[in-house]
Each structure stands twice: as C-alpha cells, then as structure tokens.
Amino acid sequence: MAGATSTVKDRVAELRAAIEEHNHRYYVLDRPSVSDAEYDRLLRELQELEAEHPRLIEPDSPTQRVGARPADGFETVTHSIPMLSLANAFSNEEVAEFDRRLRERLDLDELTYVIEPKLDGLAIALRYEHGRLVLGATRGDGRQGENVTTNVRTVRSIPLKLRGNNIPQALEVRGEIFMERSGFEQLNRRLSEAGQKTFVNPRNAAAGSLRQLDPAITAQRPLRFYCYGAATEDGLPDTHLGCLEQLQQWGLPVSPEISQASGLEGLEAGYARLAERRNELDYEIDGVVYKLDSLDQQGEVGFVSRAPRWALAHKFPAQEEITRLLAIEVQVGRTGALTPVARLEPVFVGGVTVTNATLHNAEEVQRKDVRPGDWVVVRRAGDVIPEVVASVPERRPSAARPWVMPSNCPECGSAVEQVDGEAVARCSGGLVCPAQRRRALEHFAARSAMDIDGLGSKLIAQLVEADLVLSPADLYRLDEATLQQLDRMGRKSASNLVRALEQSRHTTLARLLFALGIREVGEVTAAQLARHFGSLQGIAEADAEVLAGVPDVGPVVAAHVQAFFAEPHNREVIEQLLAAGVEYEVETPRRPEAMPLAGKTYVLTGSLQAMTRARARAALEEQGAKVTSSVSKNTTAVIAGTQPGSKLERASDLGVTVLDENALLALLSSLE
C-alpha cells in the first residue's frame, strides 16, 4: 500500500465497508437501504480511487466481485462459470457507443442482436443432469451463491424434468425468478390481513420468497421463472436466439417479448417497443438487455472484470419530480469550460434525495428558459448529477429573471470567451485559473497519463491553494520538506510521493502527450500521434492538414492540437517539463502505409499459447496489418491456434493461407 496517503486508505476502507453493508442488505437481507444511484456513486468513487492507487486493490474489494456473500442457513455453491453483472446505459448515445465499439472490434458494418426485457427479479442458475433438475443456486457474489434447490423445485414454471430429445448430459441455464404484479398485490393483501409485514415491491417479494428456509412458505408464493440463457454450450446452437428457442423446446419458459434486431436502428426500435409495452406487462421490467446474437462473436469480444463486453442493459428513464431552483452556479472544468449547475430545494427522485442537477451550458438554460426561483422538472436517469428537464412557467414567481452566463470567471476573474460554433463558454485564464489548474494537474497525474501514485485531488487542491504548483512542471520541484508542511502529509507519505514523481519522469511519448490535456486528445489518439510523428517536436511542427491525416485525428482534433502547440505558454510548460528531467524515448515515425504489413488482413481463431489473442492482434496492428473477425477472399491469412472454430473451415473453402502460432511468431520476429 505504499504510495497512497493515509487519507486515501481510510476513504477506501470506509467505502468498502459501506458497499459491503449495502450489498448485504440488498442481496442477503432483501432490505435495501440506499438507492441504486447512491450505491453506484459509492462504487464509482471506490473504482476511481483504486485506479489512482492500484496498490490498494485487494482481492476481496467490492470492485473485484459482483454482489455479496451468501446468507447463513443455505449451503454455499461455487458457480462453474461466474454469474456476472451487465454494464448499464441510460441514453441512446451510450447505446450507439456500445454498437460502435463492437462493430470496430469485429470489423463489421452491422451486427445482429437479441433484445430481451430486463426483468426486475432474482438471478438464478439451474443445473440439469440427464434432463433432471439437480441444483438451483442464487447469484450470491457472482462466484458463490446459495443452494436453494429445494425452494426452486416449488416454482411451478421451472421444469423438474426437461422434455424432448438430444438433451445434453449436463446443462446449466440462467434466468430470473420474479413475481407478477397481480400476484404481488394478492400476496401483500394476504400478509396485511394476517397482520404480517408486507413487501415494498415485487422484486423484494420474489427474493424474500425464494430465500425462505421453509420451502413450504416458498411454495405458497406466486413465483415465476423466465430463462434468458445457458452457461454451457454442449448440444446448443451457435446463436443466442437459437439457444433460447432450443431451451424453450426442452420445456424452459422464455419471455415472449424477446426479439431479434439488426444494427443500431433495430436496438432503438426494440427499446421503444418494450418501453411502450412496459405498463401493459404483468411484471416489472426496468429496461431492456441487448446481446450479440452470435456466440462466436461473443467469445471474440470477451469480458471486462465485472461484465461481458457483448451485452448491455439499457435502463428506462427514471421518474421525474418538481422542485424549486434556488440558484444557478458555475463550475469551471479542466479545459476552462463553464458549466451551469442548478442548486435545488432537496427533492426525492427515484429513490435518492437530489440537491444538484446539471444544466449543461448557457444555451440550454436559455432554451429551457430556466430561472433562479423557478419550479423545475428534475429527472434522475442514473447519473451522479441529475438533469433539469424544464421549468414550470405557470408557477414562476414574478421576481424571477432570466439567467445569463457571467462575463468573468467566478474562480479567477478572467474574461469568459464564447467561441463561434461552440455552445460551451470558457474561462480564458488557463493555468492562472485555480479551477483549471487543479483539474489539469489531476489529469496529468492520472494512472493513464503520468501515473503519479499518491497525488490525489485533495493534495492537488492544497498545492494549488498554497501556490506551490502553478503548472505540471512545478510538481517536479517539490521536495520532502515542502510536502511535509501540508495537512495530513507525514514524512513517509512525502517520501513516497517524491519517489513516485521521480519514477514518472521516465515515460512514453503517448502518455506524456495524453497528460498534457490537449482538447479531444484521448489515449488512443495520443498513441496514434506518437506512433506517426515519433517526437513532440514533430507533432508541434506539423500543420493542421498533416495532423488531420493521422488515424483517429481528423480536422477538429487537428485544429485543437495545432492550437495547443501554437500557444507560447504551453510550449513553455513543455520546455520546463523537459528541463525538470521528464523524458521519453524518441520513436522512429511509422506511417501506416510504410509499415511492413500494410495492406494485409489477418483473422485469428482458436487459443494461442505464447500470447493472448489480444496481444497477437496488437502486434499485427503495430506492423500496419488489419485484423478482422470474418474470413473473406481478401484475407491474407488465418492464424489458427488450438481448438479453432468454423473460421478454419471457411479459410479452407476459400483457399486462404492458414498459419499456426509458430508461423505467427516467426513472422513477427522477422519484422523486429
């Protein structure tokens, strides 16, 4: 844990304890005490702290698992295949980004998906052997759950014996146990008449009913089950929809609302259809789930630590409420962007008390005609800061006046500039502005930038307030004696930070370029610029036309890059960084068209031993090759590892060259 301040350690421990408690209340006791948005905020804060301080990550951190430990009273079951959560989306833009990422990974113009209703119940795993139900287990923490087989057997919609032919010797299916609205109302009425405690909602009713230690009680509850997939693949088709159809033939119930869709338009249409039917259904759904239909494509895109890349839960808009807008304040971001923020009279929206909401920019404030003192509609759509949707003019006080963006920055007093064609107003103060300086330093020190372990936001705020750091270059002038004068900065912490700063002096051009905080230049773009030009000087001397020709750049980003290096102050900061000992290895510029494998296309299939498929893909792309997911007559070669799939047969049919892993290694070695 060296390199992290005691304050950070304490906060991490506090967050872990709170999240574990909320997990216990939600998953084990079925009595949640916070809203989903508040839980997500705590988890995101912990994720960010662990990303900034990777040495604090522990195997049992809530970020490394899905839910909570099983409750006492049930036997623990280890899932043969983990039951992961799904990533969430709350807007069409996030769905479009999901579709774009998958299309780029698979190198296809359009993808086929399956759309399912997102049931609000309890996830369950069912195992069948020789067609007979032998195990039912809850998700638990995603790796271990509770053995609720006896209770599961009381749910009449779950078959005890599968029907039909060609049933695999072992089959594990996943699905959701839920309670219909009508059954929920009847159950609560019965409990109330008996003087017993009622349930808050159908989801809690379903979870509480399934986890009764007395299965006779479970048998009396109106539980239902829908299957949404299989964890095993033996004897099943090679598409998700095909699997669901086969499972249904074997007697497992599947939601009739499931459909197939092509491309982004299909996803949007499916979402709209289920959103419209939401209130007509006799069970609760809180969104829809999109899944790649092809199991081969699912395997190719893989997983992140907590969720599959090939699936996304698109949540329905949360409820809206009306409250009073007390004031509109302005926040200043890293690039000087001024964002109006609504300060609200506290209001409970979608399970959380809201006091702040975003107003995006001055143009939005004017378009919505939102004024301090107004009654406004607030929507909570899963974000940390909810959104002000509109004002309620008929309830407007006579004293309410239109709001205008201040002409001077509230942080430093510098003039506010409005660039033609942009909706965002910006402070012109640059690093003179404390707010911009704080956020620029946070970005500079981030793990994906200069990776300065221990330099968190609170410490940066102190350094800025004391005027000890006026630009990123000043960080490298800090010594232990100076740092120990700051609050909560002891000798060991100061020593660790100085050591981290020293280590960060030696970096790559891509990291340094990203750390400089050039507008629109993310990690990928920074890597492309570094590979193309090889040095900061090469980038600084390039004109906009040359910059725009680099992959992932384009004219808008090119203009930002050119403007950044044309600013004397930015050049001065770079010179100071280099003078402070920050160094990077100068690369030989590598144009895609001049790379050894330029114009060649490869396809990977099967498992590789010496490297992962992701590393093999990166190694080929670094030499200018294109790596796709499908074999065609234009494919240069198929690289086949062990247990290759149907791509090998396709290559044989088309007469495409097939290389084994040794041939791949020899090819890459010859290019070094």
What confidence tens digit (pLDDT) does each residue in 387-423 have? Answer: 888 888 888 999 999 999 998 988 888 888 887 767 7
- The Cα–Cα gap between 494 and 483 comes to 6
At the topology level of CATH, where does 320-395 sit?
OB fold (Dihydrolipoamide Acetyltransferase, E2P) (2.40.50)
* Tokens matching residue 564: 């950044």
* Tokens matching residue 507: 């970096």
Q: Which CATH superfamily is domain 6-64 in?
A: Helix hairpin bin (1.10.287.610)
Going by pLDDT thresholds of 50, 70 and 90, the confidence category of residue 672 is low
Q: In terms of residues, how long is the chain?
A: 672
Note the pTM of the prediction, 2 decimals: 0.45
E strands, 503-546, are 506-507
- CATH hierarchy code of domain 430-504: 1.10.150.20
The domains of the chain are located at 6-64, 88-315, 320-395, 430-504, 509-584, 596-671
552, 104 Cβ separation under 8 angstroms: no
Position 202: which residue type? P
Q: Do the first three CATH levels of 430-504 and 509-584 match, i.e. the same topology?
A: yes
pLDDT of 64 over the 60 cut: no
Which pLDDT does position 27 carry in this prediction?
Answer: 41
544, 562 Cβ separation under 8 angstroms: yes
Radius of gyration of the CA atoms of the chain, in A:
28
Which pLDDT does position 229 carry in this prediction?
Answer: 92
Looking at domain 88-315, which CATH architecture does it have? Answer: 2-Layer Sandwich (3.30)
- The Cα–Cα gap between 77 and 197 comes to 30
Looking at domain 596-671, which CATH architecture does it have? Answer: 3-Layer(aba) Sandwich (3.40)
What mean pLDDT is predicted for residues 300-304? 82
Secondary structure element (H or E) that encloses residue 441, with its range: helix 434-445
* Tokens matching residue 248: 């249904």
pLDDT of 426 over the 80 cut: yes
- The Cα–Cα gap between 377 and 379 comes to 7
| CB neighbour burial string for 469-482, b if at least 16 within 10 angstroms, e if fewer | bebbbbbbebebee
- CATH hierarchy code of domain 509-584: 1.10.150.20
Higher pLDDT, 402 or 4: 402
Least confident of 361-370, 525-534, 548-557, 635-644: 548-557
pLDDT of 25 over the 70 cut: no
Which pLDDT does position 24 carry in this prediction?
Answer: 53
DSSP secondary structure letter of residue 36: H
Among residues 118, 291, 626, 647, which one is catalytic? 118
Summary mean pLDDT of the chain: 84
Q: Which residues have CB under 8 Å from 426's CB, separation 6+? A: 335, 336, 337, 338, 416, 417, 418, 419
DSSP secondary structure letter of residue 5: -
Least confident of 61-70, 411-420, 466-475: 61-70
For residue 379, the SS3 value is strand
pLDDT of 556 over the 90 cut: no
* Integer angstrom CA distances of residue 457 from 6, 10, 42, 46, 490: 14, 15, 17, 14, 17
pLDDT of 200 over the 70 cut: no
What mean pLDDT is predicted for residues 376-395? 75
* Tokens matching residue 255: 């939601």
Position 450: which residue type? M
257, 116 Cβ separation under 8 angstroms: yes
What mean pLDDT is predicted for residues 129-154? 87
CA atoms within 13 A on the CB side of 350: 22
Higher pLDDT, 61 or 507: 507
Neighbours of 16 (CB within 10 A): 19
pLDDT of 1 over the 80 cut: no
- Nearest residue to 81 via CA among 299, 325, 329, 315: 299
Going by pLDDT thresholds of 50, 70 and 90, the confidence category of residue 3 is low
pLDDT digits (tens, 9 = 90+) for 86-114: 888 888 899 999 999 999 989 899 999 99
What mean pLDDT is predicted for residues 346-363? 81
> Residue 492 catalytic?
no
Secondary structure element (H or E) that encloses residue 50, with its range: helix 36-52
